[in-house]
């Protein structure tokens, strides 16, 4: 929040063109030529060697500056500030602000006053900033003015990554002491607030889309779960049909010396076909369970659902053919056919017919479940 407030203050100062910088001289010489601002912090390992190096480089470019302002932060090492104060405090072109004590130093000015940082940002023509201050660098780079960095090679971890990103974007250059500060260069100003707002809006839009997708497509997961339950039920009915028909066998209690009256499913090819077909259908249903689980996990995936529709249609066809053929034989067994002299054998083989009838009923229950499965899959494949 503090950083945002400082940015707002900066743009406010820039827009209403405040021409007063705390600690500036009464005349307008400060603004008559290039104002060079040096901001020094102390997060990285800065010592006397860097201070001496910076002093030498500033002396080399001082001729190209109308005025030079040096600003210390609360974290600036005292050994660094002492060297710069000793070198520049008596120079009439140099103004030094010590943020640690809220004090301004110049050749004829040594007083307390408010922090001039926002005014510095508004009126400086170029900046030299130590590489360890992310906030100061960000604020300076939001002006679009030349920004030079010193001490970047001493920074590690997040500071090094930050420096790398700024260099890649072309918004900062290393300070060498050979620059002509009066020669300016520019770049698209960093606008972190707008970029952050844009990313927040994008993230919110993405989240809303995902929520809408879940709300809109949530029924597909429900369909997939119901599909899985129906397949379990179909496995039960198909196995029941195959088992009931496959175990249908009855021998009458009376027989002669040469004849024994017995009825079994393997006496009729239709019933044999029925048992094989229903066993195949039950096996397919078991193998289809993993695909049904995939449809639950990924309810919007069309591939598994389309494969199930095709295979379910084939299984439904086989199931219907077996059930219809067996139903015709069971009808004749119950009612016979006088035109062809077919007797109603169920009057004698009651248990045999009862098992066959149950198997046929179970097979048609499986057919009904398959129809529901196909309808559910069709709904799940709908786009809207």
What are 202-236's pLDDT values in tens digits? 766 665 555 444 445 567 888 888 999 999 999 99
Are 36 and 125 spatial neighbours (Cβ–Cβ below 8 Å)?
Answer: yes
Q: Return d(Cα 213, Cα 215) in angstroms, integer.
A: 5
pLDDT of 384 higher than 50: no
**Burial call 226-245: b when 16+ CB within 10 Å, e when fewer:** bbbebbeebbbbbbbbbbbb
Phi first, then psi: give them for residue 320, nearest 5 degrees. Answer: -65, -40
**Residue recorded with tokens 């219907």:** 320
DSSP, residue by residue, 194-248: HHHHHHHHHHHHHHHHHHHHHHHHHHHHHHHHHHHHHHHHHHHHHHHHHHHHHT-
Q: What is the mean pLDDT of residues 36-62?
A: 76
Mean pLDDT of the chain: 77
Give the angle subtended at the CA of 23 by the CAs of 19 and 29, to the nearest 5°.
Answer: 55
DSSP, residue by residue, 250-270: EEEEEE-SS-EEEEEGGGSHH
Question: Following CA atoms 194, 195, 199, 200 in sequence, which dihedral angle do they give, to the nearest 10 degrees?
Answer: -30
pLDDT value of residue 112: 53
Of these ranges, 98-112, 239-253, 330-344, the one predicted with the greatest mean pLDDT is 239-253
Q: For 7-46, how does the pLDDT look when each residue is reduced to its tens digit (9 = 90+)?
A: 434 343 333 333 333 344 343 444 445 666 676 766 555 6
Q: Return d(Cα 213, Cα 128) in angstroms, integer.
A: 50
DSSP, residue by residue, 3-14: HHHHHHHHHHHH
- Give the list of residues 6+ apart from residue 19 with CB closer than 8 angstroms, or none: 31, 123
Q: Return d(Cα 98, Cα 244) in angstroms, integer.
A: 97
Q: For 143-159, how does the pLDDT look when each residue is reduced to its tens digit (9 = 90+)?
A: 888 998 887 777 766 77
Are 121 and 101 spatial neighbours (Cβ–Cβ below 8 Å)?
Answer: no
Map out the domains of the chain with their CATH numbers.
2-190 (3.40.50.2000), 199-380 (no CATH)
Of these ranges, 145-154, 296-305, 315-324, the one predicted with the greatest mean pLDDT is 315-324
Report the residue count for the chain. Answer: 384
Pick the closest to residue 131 from 157, 94, 98 (CA basis): 157
pLDDT value of residue 29: 42
- Give the list of residues 6+ apart from residue 264 with CB closer than 8 angstroms, or none: 248, 249, 250, 352
* Dihedral sign for Cα atoms in the order 377, 378, 380, 381: positive
Report field, pTM of the whole predicted structure over 0.85: no
In percent, the amount of the chain with pLDDT more than 90 equals 19
DSSP, residue by residue, 51-108: HHHHHHHHHHHGGG-SEEEEEE-TTS-HHHHHHHHHHHTT-TTEEEEETTTTEEE-SS
The CB density around residue 253, as the number of other CB atoms within 10 Å, is 5
> DSSP letter at 32?
S
Are 92 and 210 spatial neighbours (Cβ–Cβ below 8 Å)?
Answer: no
The CB density around residue 40, as the number of other CB atoms within 10 Å, is 27
Work out the pLDDT band at 281, boundaries 50, 70, 90: very high
Are 143 and 128 spatial neighbours (Cβ–Cβ below 8 Å)?
Answer: no
Q: For 158-208, how does the pLDDT look when each residue is reduced to its tens digit (9 = 90+)?
A: 777 887 888 888 888 888 888 888 888 888 887 767 666 777 777 666 655
Pick the closest to residue 270 from 223, 345, 323, 317 (CA basis): 323
Are 278 and 238 spatial neighbours (Cβ–Cβ below 8 Å)?
Answer: yes
Instruction: Tell me the two tokens of residue 212.
Output: 């809408």
The CB density around residue 289, as the number of other CB atoms within 10 Å, is 13
């Amino acid at each position: 929040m503090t950083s945002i407030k400082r940015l707002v203050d900066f743009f406010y100062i820039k827009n209403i063109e405040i021409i007063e910088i705390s600690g500036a001289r009464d005349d307008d010489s400060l603004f008559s030529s290039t104002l060079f601002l040096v901001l020094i912090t102390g997060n990285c390992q800065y010592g006397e060697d860097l201070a001496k190096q910076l002093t030498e480089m500033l002396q080399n470019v001082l001729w190209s500056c109308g005025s030079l302002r040096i600003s210390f932060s609360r974290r600036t090492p005292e050994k660094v500030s002492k060297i710069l104060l000793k070198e520049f405090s008596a120079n009439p072109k140099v103004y030094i602000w010590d943020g640690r004590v809220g004090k301004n130093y110049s050749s004829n000015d040594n007083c307390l006053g408010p922090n001039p940082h926002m005014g510095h940002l508004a009126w400086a023509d170029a900046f030299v900033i130590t590489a360890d201050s992310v906030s100061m660098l960000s604020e300076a780079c939001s002006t679009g003015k030349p920004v030079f960095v010193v001490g970047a090679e001493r920074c590690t971890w997040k500071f090094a990554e930050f420096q790398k990103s700024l260099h890649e974007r072309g918004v900062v250059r290393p300070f060498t002491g050979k620059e002509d500060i009066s020669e300016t260069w520019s770049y698209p100003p960093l606008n972190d607030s707008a970029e952050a707002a844009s990313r927040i809006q994008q993230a919110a839009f993405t989240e809303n889309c995902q929520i809408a997708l879940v709300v809109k497509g949530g029924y597909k997961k429900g369909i997939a779960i119901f599909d899985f339950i129906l397949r379990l039920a179909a496995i039960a009915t198909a196995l029941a049909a195959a088992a009931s028909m496959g175990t249908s066998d009855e021998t009458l209690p009376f027989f002669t010396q040469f004849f024994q009256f017995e009825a079994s499913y393997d006496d009729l090819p239709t019933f044999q076909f029925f048992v094989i077909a229903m066993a195949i259908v039950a096996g397919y249903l078991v193998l289809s369970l993993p695909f049904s689980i995939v449809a639950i996990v990924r309810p919007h995936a069309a591939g598994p659902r389309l494969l199930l529709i095709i295979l379910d249609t084939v299984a439904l066809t086989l199931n219907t053919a077996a059930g219809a053929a067996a139903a015709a034989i069971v009808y004749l067994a119950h009612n016979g056919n006088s035109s062809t002299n077919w007797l109603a054998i169920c009057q004698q083989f009651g248990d045999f017919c009862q098992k066959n009838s149950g198997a046929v009923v179970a097979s048609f229950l499986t057919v009904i479940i398959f129809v529901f499965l196909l309808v559910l899959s069709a709904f799940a494949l709908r786009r809207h």
